Amino acid sequence: MMTFLLMGLFGFIYRWKTLSGDEFETEESVLSRELALFTGAVAILASAIIILAGTSAPIFGHAVEIRFYDELTLPIAIIIGFLNGFSLLLKWK
């Protein structure tokens, strides 16, 4: 894991001068596949954090019930499903 972190950090430092903010355009539309993909990735990250917190709970206190995962990840799964279906209708920038 440290190898990939160092490779990414090296690549970022190597290209620092060429990564100016002038080249990047602002997003013209909120309805784009890029934004849908980003929102889906954030939803998956939120789900991963909830699962990590639930599985780490016995280390810090008492174990959580299965209902904990169902109640917290169901809304995120609905958002991911909606974004998955809706993003097929959107166009690439």
- Measured over the CA atoms of residue 19, residue 25, residue 30 and residue 33, the dihedral's sign is negative
Give the count of domains, the chain.
1
- Alpha-carbon Rg for the chain in angstroms: 19
- 55 part of a folded domain: yes
In a domain, 1, yes or no: no
pTM of the predicted protein model: 0.62
Domain annotation covers residue 15: no
Going by C-beta distance under 8 Å and a sequence separation of 6 or more, which residues neighbour residue 38?
A: none
d(CA 88, CA 92): 10
Residue 22 pLDDT greater than 70, yes or no: no
Q: What is the pLDDT of residues 41-65, one digit of tens each?
A: 899 999 999 989 888 888 887 888 8
